A and B are shown apart, each in its own frame.
Chain A
Amino acid sequence: MAQQVQSAADVTGVGRGMDRPLDIFLSSSRSGVSEERTLFILIDSSEELGRSSFLSSLDSALNKNQTDLSATRIGIAKAGAKLMVILEPSLEHGMLLPAARAILNTPNDSILNLYSNLRGLSKKLAGSPGSREILLVTLANGDAEDDLSATTRRLVKSGIKLSVIASEAYLSDCYWAKRSYQQAPKDCKLHGAESAYIELPWAWLFQREPINEITPSGYAYYGLSRLAAATEGRVHIYTPASKAEHACAVYNRCLLCDGDHVSPTELYKNAALEVLAPLVLSREEVGRRLARDPYYRATNRLWQAASRVGLLSGTAPLKLRRTAAQEQASRGTFFLGLTGLAFSSQAKTADRAIKETDKLIKSFEAEIGRIEAGDGSGRQQAIAALCRIMLRLTRINLISYAEYCRDLGPRLADPKSPEPIAPEVPSSHQGRRATGIYQDGIPLCHGVSPLLGLEVPGREKIRPHLEELAPLVREFETEYRNTPFAVALHRAGLAKFRLSYAGTSGNLARRRPGSKASENGPSTGSPRPRRRAGGSGTGSSGPSTGRKR
C-alpha cells in the first residue's frame, strides 16, 4: 500500500476544517481498526492553533467516538525544543481536553524541530499495545525539516502511522530560499514548499513578490506529506473559513476593482488539483523523475538561462545531467540593476534585456512545442505553461520600463518640472529628492483586456504584446482553473513603476547594557518571522479545496 503512494493527492484528505480530521483519527471503525490502539496527539502550540476550533472539534470528536474508544489509549504531548509528554496514553479520556487546553494556553512562536519530536515520540510509542498512531497538529511549523529519511525509517520501524493536521504550504515556496539568513533549529533546513524541490522558477523581474510565496498550493509541506505517505497516514489541511476569500492583490490595492472581485476559478477543486499534485516520493527519487520529465527539463534550461540574463533572481535547485539531477542550493542572485535613477543607461539595459527575452521566448516555446502529447507530467506541463506567460509578461514590463525611463521617470524626478493642470495635482513627494525606482503590480486577475484601457508608459508599444498575451492567458485559465496555477497567474501582473524617496526614520530608544528585554528598547520581534499569507482580504490566504468542515 505504502509503495503505491506517489503524490500528495494520495495522502491529503478532503476539507479544510478541524472536525473531520479529528473524527477520522479517533474513530476506529472508519479506519478499519477494531482492536486495541495507542494514540498520541502531538500539539505544536501556536497562536493560530489557539484561535482555531481545535478544542471544540476535539471535544466533539471525543464525544462522538466514545464507544469506539473504549480500548484506545490516548496521550497528549507538546511539541517544543524538548518534547513534553503532558498526558501518558491511557484509557481514561477525561483529562484530554484540559491537557490540550493547557498546551494551547502556552503558545510558542519559535521555529521548532517537529521531526525530532516525532522521533522521540516514536520511541515512547514503540512498545505500546495494539496499533500505534500519532496525530501531529501543527499550524506554525513543519517547514523546519530535519533528517526526513531517518524520521521516516524510525516511524516505519516502530509501526507507527502518522497523520497530520497542518497549514497549507505555498506553491513551490521560495520564502526560505530567499531568506537564507534565517536561523533554523539545529540540524534543520527550512523548506516551505509542498514539493520536494522548488519547481516553479521564482522571483521574476518586475514582480513585486515572487508568486511562489503568495499562492496557496492546496497541499501541506512536502516533509509532512512524505512522512504520512510512508506510514500510511493522512494529511489534512486546515484553513480558517475567514481566509477562504479571494483578493486580487496581496500587498497592495487592486487598481481594477474595489476589492469585491469574484474569481470562481480560484476555488480549488480536488479533481483539478489531483492531476497537478507534487510527488511525495523520497527526494532523490523525485529528483530522478524530474530529470526525466521533458517539461521540467525545458523549464530548468529556461530557468538557468533567464537567471543568467537577470530576468529571474532565484536560482534553480537542480542542475540537470543527462538523466539525473544534482541538487544545489536555490537562492537569490543578481538582478539587472534597474532600480537606480540613471534613466538613460537603464533604458538601454532594458532594451538589451528585451532582445534576450525575445530569444528565450522563441527557444522555450519551440522546445515545449516539440514535446509529444502524453510525455511529461501534468504538473510540469502547467509550470512550463505558466513560465511561458511569465516570460511574455516580463517582456511587456521591460518595454514599459524602458519607456518610463525615457519619458515619465525623468520628468517626475525633476524638481523643476512644471506644476500639473487640474484635475492633476502635484505628487505629495514633489520637491523631494528621488532615490530610485520600484514597482507595484496591476494584477492579471481580471484578465488582460482591462490593461489595454490603462494609460501606462509605452502604452502603444505594449498593446500588440498584450493582445498576443490575452489568448494565452485565457487558454491557461481554462486549462488550469480551480488550481494553484490559476491563482499564481493572477498574482503576477503588469508593473507600475514609482519613484522611491529617502526614508524618514529617526533615533530609536537606546537599549542600555545589562538591561532586561522588558525594561526598555524596541522588541526585536518573534523568533519565527510573521509572514503575511498569500491571497486575500487583510492579507489572508485564498482558496480552498472544497468547503466541507
Chain B
Amino acid sequence: MRPHVFALSAMVGLALTTSLLAQDIAQLVRDLGDPADSRLRSSAYNQLRREDRGGKALPILLVSLPSFSLSSQSLGFYLIQSYPPPVRSSGMRRLLSSESGYLRLCAASQLFKEGDRTQLAKIIEDLRSTDSEQESVMMLSRLRGIRDPLFIEQIRGLITADSGSNLLSGYLFLLLDAGDRGAIPVARRLIEAGDSSLDTRLICAAFLLAAGEPDASAVLATQLDKSSKLSLSTINRFLLAAEKLGKPTSLFLLRVLESDADSYQIRIALRLLGTHAYQPALGKIRLHLQSTNLSIAKAAQEALLGIAQELDPKVLQEMLASKEPAQVLLAADLLRRMDDHSGLAAVMNIAARPGDRQLEATEILAGFRIPAVVPALLNALESDNSRLRAIAFRALEEVLHSLFPYRNLELASTGYAHDGTVGQREAGLEKIRSFWNKHKR
C-alpha cells in the first residue's frame, strides 16, 4: 500500500503563522507552567494555540514540560498535537524519551492510535512505572477510545486487589467503555476475594451493573449498605452508564434522599434517579424541589425532567410569583430552557440588587441569548464585587458569541479582567460598550 502523503499546503501556512517573538514564546511557555494561576495557564495556552500554529514553541516545550504539573503537561501536549504534521511527529517522537512518564504515555498512546502498534508495550510499561495514583488516573484518561484486543487484555492484567480505588475505577471504566466483557469475571473475583476493600467491592459491583450483569444491582446495594461513609461519587459514572439501576440500588438511592447525607451525595442520588427515570422517587424528589440550596433544587428539577420529561408551565409560573428568590430563579431558568422568557424580568430584577442571589441570577442571565440581557451584564462588569464581575464577564462572552455568530470575539482582548485595576477595567469596558453600541440592532 502506498503511504498517504497529504496536502503539504499546510507548510505554506507555516511561514505566515506567527508574529510571536522568541521571548514572547518563552514567557508564554513559563505561564503555561504557572503552578498557581489557572487563568494564566489557560490564557497562555490560548495565545500559543492561536499565534504559534507553526510550532516554534516546540523546543522550549520539550525542555520545560517535564517539570510542569500534570495539568500543564496536558495543555502542552495538546499544543504539540495541534502542530503541523512534521513538527507534531517530531515532537511526539521526542516525547517518547521524556523524563515524564505521563508525557511518554501521551505520545505513545497517540502514536498507537495512529497505527504504530509497537507503542503498546511502552504504554503498558509507563502505566506500570508510575507510583502516583493521580498520574495513573490521568494516564488512563488518555487511553480512552483504544479498543485493540491486546491492549484491552493488558489493561485487564493490571487490575489487582491492591489497585487503589481511583485506579481500579479508571481501569474498569476504560474496559467498560471498550465493551470488554472479559473484565466481568475479574470484577466478580475481586468482589468475592476476602481481602478486597469495601471501595473495591463497590466499584466492581457498580461496574457489573453497568455491564448489564443480572445480579449486580442486589450485590451493589448490599455493598452500599455496608459502607459507613457514603461516597456515591466513586461509583457515579458507572451508574450513569448503566442501562438500568435495578430495584435494590434504586431503593438505596431513594433512602439517600431521606437521609442527612451531604448535599453532594443528595445531588448525585437525584441525578441517578432522574437519569434512570425511577418513577417511585417522584414524591421524594418533589420535596427537594423546595430546597433553599439552589444546587439541590436544580438537581431535583433535573431529576423530575428526567422522569416526567416535562414540568407543568403553570406550576413554574406560580413559582415565578414566589417571594423566595431561589424559587423564582429556578422557575425562570427552566422556563427559559423551554424557550419561554417570561421569567427574564424577574431574573434581571434579582441580578440588579446586591444580595444573596445576585451571583446566581447573573449566571442565569447567560442562558438568555438575546440582546435584552446585554445592558444588564455590561452594568455588572462595573460592580465592586469581583466575583460578580467574573460571572458577568463569562456570561457576556457567551451571549455575544451567540448574537454575533460570524465575529470572533474575545472580551479579554480589550484588556478587561475581572480582577484587574479600576483603570484597566474601565478602559476595557469602554471598548466592549463601544462594540455593543455600534453593532446592536
Contact = CB atoms under 8 A, between A and B. Distances in A.
Interface of A: 17-18, 47, 50-56, 59-60, 97, 104-105, 107, 240-242, 244, 255-258, 260-264, 267, 408, 415, 420-428, 431-433, 442, 446-447, 450, 453-457, 459, 496, 502-511, 518-523, 547, 549
Contacts of A520: 115-118
B407 A261 contact: no
A442 B86 contact: no
Given A53-B243, A258-B367, A423-B413, A502 B212 contact: no
B415 to A, nearest CB: 8
A450 B410 contact: no
Interface string B73-89: 00000000000111011
Given A267-B310, A496-B405, A504-B84, A523 B115 contact: yes
Contacts of B258: none
Contact of A431 (B13, B400, B409): B13
Nearest to A440: B405
Contacts of B369: 255-257, 450, 453
B403 A241 contact: no
Contacts, number: 207
B408 A504 contact: no
Interface string B155-196: 000000000000000000000000101100000000000000
> For chain B, which range describes its interface: under 10, 10 to 19, 20 to 34, or 35 or more residues?
35 or more
B432 to A, nearest CB: 6
Contact of B211 (A51, A422, A511): A51
A53 B244 contact: yes
A425 B413 contact: yes
B405 A456 contact: yes
A250 to B, nearest CB: 18
A267 to B, nearest CB: 5
B241 A242 contact: yes
Contacts of A521: 1, 115
A507 B85 contact: yes
Interface string B254-278: 0000000000000000000001110
Contacts of A505: 4, 6-7, 10, 85
Contacts of A53: 212, 242-244
B36 interface: no
Nearest to B210: A51
A107 B149 CA distance: 12
Given A52-B212, A504-B84, A547-B309, A432 B13 contact: yes
Contact of B6 (A56, A503, A547): A503
B10 A504 contact: yes
Closest 10 CB pairs of A and B: A506-B85, A522-B115, A505-B6, A264-B310, A502-B9, A431-B16, A59-B214, A504-B10, A56-B214, A47-B179
A56 B247 CA distance: 12
Contact of A242 (B150, B243, B409): B243
Contact of B305 (A105, A262, A415): A262
Interface string B229-255: 000000000001111101000000000
A431 B17 contact: yes
B118 to A, nearest CB: 8
A271 to B, nearest CB: 15
A507 B439 CA distance: 45
Contacts of B85: 504-507
Given A50-B211, A264-B310, 18 more contacts: A17-B244, A51-B243, A52-B212, A56-B212, A56-B217, A244-B277, A258-B367, A262-B310, A423-B409, A424-B408, A424-B409, A433-B12, A455-B405, A502-B9, A505-B85, A506-B88, A508-B4, A511-B1
Contact of B439 (A432, A450, A455): A455
Contact of B115 (A421, A424, A456, A508): A508
A420 B407 CA distance: 10
Contacts of A428: 49-50, 53, 408
27 contacts: A17-B244, A56-B213, A97-B214, A105-B181, A241-B275, A261-B337, A262-B338, A264-B309, A408-B406, A422-B414, A423-B435, A424-B407, A425-B408, A425-B413, A428-B50, A433-B9, A433-B12, A442-B405, A453-B371, A454-B405, A496-B406, A502-B10, A505-B10, A506-B85, A510-B3, A520-B117, A522-B115
Contacts of A511: 1
B334 interface: yes
A447 B339 contact: yes
A432 B10 CA distance: 9
Decide if the interface of chain B is mainly helix, strand, loop or mixed: loop
A203 B309 CA distance: 31
Contacts of B240: 242
Contacts of B10: 502-505
Interface in B392-428: 398, 400-411, 413-415
B21 interface: no
Interface of B: 1, 3-7, 9-10, 12-13, 16-17, 49-50, 53, 84-86, 88-89, 114-118, 150, 179, 181-182, 211-217, 240-244, 246, 275-277, 305, 307, 309-310, 334, 337-339, 366-367, 369-371, 398, 400-411, 413-415, 431-432, 435, 439, 441
Contact of B405 (A52, A104, A255): A255
Decide if the interface of chain A is mainly helix, strand, loop or mixed: loop
A503 B7 contact: yes
Contact of B179 (A107, A256, A415): A107
A432 B84 CA distance: 13
A424 B212 contact: no
B441 A455 contact: yes
Contacts of B411: 423
A60 B246 CA distance: 11
A508 B117 contact: no
Nearest to B400: A423
Contact of A260 (B275, B337, B402): B337
Contacts of B150: 518
A432 B17 CA distance: 8
Given A255-B405, A260-B337, A503-B10, A423 B243 contact: no
Contacts of A408: 406
B263 to A, nearest CB: 20
Given A423-B411, A522-B115, A507 B17 contact: no
A546 B182 CA distance: 34
Contacts of A52: 212, 243
Contact of A453 (B243, B276, B337, B370): B370
A71 to B, nearest CB: 25
B371 A56 contact: no
B410 A423 contact: yes
B408 A55 contact: no
Contacts of B213: 55-56
A425 B47 CA distance: 11
Interface centre among B179, B246, B305, B366 (most CB of A within 10 A): B179
Contacts of B307: 547
B179 A51 contact: yes
Given A56-B246, A262-B338, A426-B408, A547 B115 contact: no
Contacts of A506: 5-6, 84-86, 88-89
A220 to B, nearest CB: 19
B244 A549 contact: yes
A547 B432 CA distance: 48
Contacts of A244: 277
A248 to B, nearest CB: 11
B403 A453 contact: yes
A503 B6 CA distance: 8
Contacts of A240: 243
A241 B277 contact: yes
